[in-house]
């Protein structure tokens, strides 16, 4: 469907030669709210809130590094065949992947918890709702950059759905004279629903250790699998196989297998709140 609307300004604040972009502000807001929720839950469970703060301090640079490495790995031919080799490090030009960020964050948490001799699964369960909330908020950074969107919208879909969305969303999804699917919005809504689900799971159903984090991985992966199929900027593993969809399937299978393993091995012999399983 064709459209003609001026895009929103990507710059939040201009301080002389320094530009503060909406993207960075939104990502920082998501990270701050996630950390606030996680530290409060850490204290509620009788743990030191410094644990979560330390992990975030270490995990942020690791997440950025792995997010970039992941993206470059699956776009290797592009970086080798086009432009100077140092473009590999040009994160400001775009090109990071959430799955890479998650890998970097999890590895950081594993190392940190082993050094501090605390339970990785307990920390992961505490962090899970904060992670998915941060992802839900962070997708609005993609919105401001007019990226991570889907294909063109049909007139029928616009009449049945998109015309009821706030005007600023349709305005920003009008790119180059064409209206595109706001897949950032679909994923953001899915992640907010996941955030609510995880809070209910850990406070109402008293899950075992590992269940909240692995439920997060399953929830996010299922939504990402379907939404990824709508996007126009996907990384491809080979042929028409989208990397994020393949990884999502692998993560769901691994998460289910890990839930089973943790129970059979006795590792998850404690509930989320620390009580022993009867």
Question: pLDDT per residue over 47-106, tens digit each?
Answer: 888 899 999 999 999 998 998 888 888 776 666 766 665 666 666 556 778 899 999 999
| pLDDT band, very low/low/confident/very high, at 269 (cuts 50, 70, 90) | low
What confidence tier does 270 reach under pLDDT thresholds 50, 70, 90?
low
Q: Per-residue pLDDT averaged across 229-253, rounded? A: 91
Name residue, tokens 């289910």. 256
Res 214: pLDDT: 97
Q: Is 209 annotated as a binding residue?
A: no
Per-residue model confidence as pLDDT tens digits over 143-195: 999 998 999 999 999 999 999 999 999 999 999 999 999 999 999 999 999 99
What are the helix and strand counts (H, E) for the chain?
Answer: 10, 6
- The tokens for 70 are 């992941």
Q: What pLDDT score was predicted for residue 277?
A: 43
Q: 194 CB contacts (<8 Å, ≥6 apart)?
A: 132, 136, 216, 219, 220, 223
Percentage of the residues of the chain whose pLDDT score is greater than 90: 65
Mean pLDDT, rounded, of the chain: 89
| pLDDT the model gives residue 31 | 93
What pLDDT is recorded for position 246?
95
- The beta strands (E) that lie in the chain are given as 11-15, 18-21, 174-175, 178-179, 236-238, 241-242
Percentage with pLDDT > 70 across the chain: 89
pLDDT (0 to 100) of residue 205: 87
| CA distance to 40, 100, 124, per residue, from 54 (Å) | 14, 20, 14
CB half-sphere exposure, 26, CA atoms < 13 A: 19
Residues 226, 187: Cα–Cα separation, whole Å: 10
Residue 278: predicted pLDDT: 38
> What's this model's pTM, rounded to 2 decimal places?
0.89
Measured CA angle at 30 (ends 42, 89), to 5 deg: 110
Model confidence at 5, in pLDDT bands (50, 70, 90)?
A: confident
């Amino acid at each position: 469907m064709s459209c003609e609307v001026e895009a929103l300004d990507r710059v939040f604040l201009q301080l002389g030669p320094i530009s503060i972009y909406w993207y960075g502000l939104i990502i920082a807001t998501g990270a701050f709210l996630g950390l606030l929720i996680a530290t409060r839950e850490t204290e509620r469970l009788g743990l030191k809130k410094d644990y979560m703060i330390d992990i975030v301090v270490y995990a942020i640079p690791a997440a950025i590094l792995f997010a970039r490495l992941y993206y470059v790995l699956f776009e290797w031919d592009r970086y080798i065949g086009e432009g100077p080799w140092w473009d590999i490090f040009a994160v400001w030009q775009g090109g990071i992947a959430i799955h890479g960020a998650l890998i970097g964050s999890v590895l950081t948490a594993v190392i940190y918890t082993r050094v501090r001799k605390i339970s990785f699964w307990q920390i992961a369960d505490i962090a899970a709702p904060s992670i998915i909330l941060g992802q839900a908020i962070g997708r609005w950074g993609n919105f401001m950059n007019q990226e991570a969107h889907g294909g063109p919208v049909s007139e029928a879909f616009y009449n049945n759905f998109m015309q009821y969305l706030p005007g600023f969303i349709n305005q920003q999804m009008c790119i180059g004279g064409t209206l595109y699917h706001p897949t950032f919005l679909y994923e953001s809504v899915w992640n907010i629903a996941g955030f609510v689900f995880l809070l209910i799971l850990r406070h109402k159903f008293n899950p075992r250790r590992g269940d909240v984090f692995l439920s997060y991985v399953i929830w996010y992966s299922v939504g990402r699998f379907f939404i990824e199929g709508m996007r126009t900027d996907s990384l491809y593993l080979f042929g028409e196989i989208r990397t994020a969809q393949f990884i999502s399937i692998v993560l769901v299978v691994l998460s289910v297998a890990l839930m089973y393993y943790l129970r059979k091995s006795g590792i998850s012999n404690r509930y989320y709140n620390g009580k022993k399983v009867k």
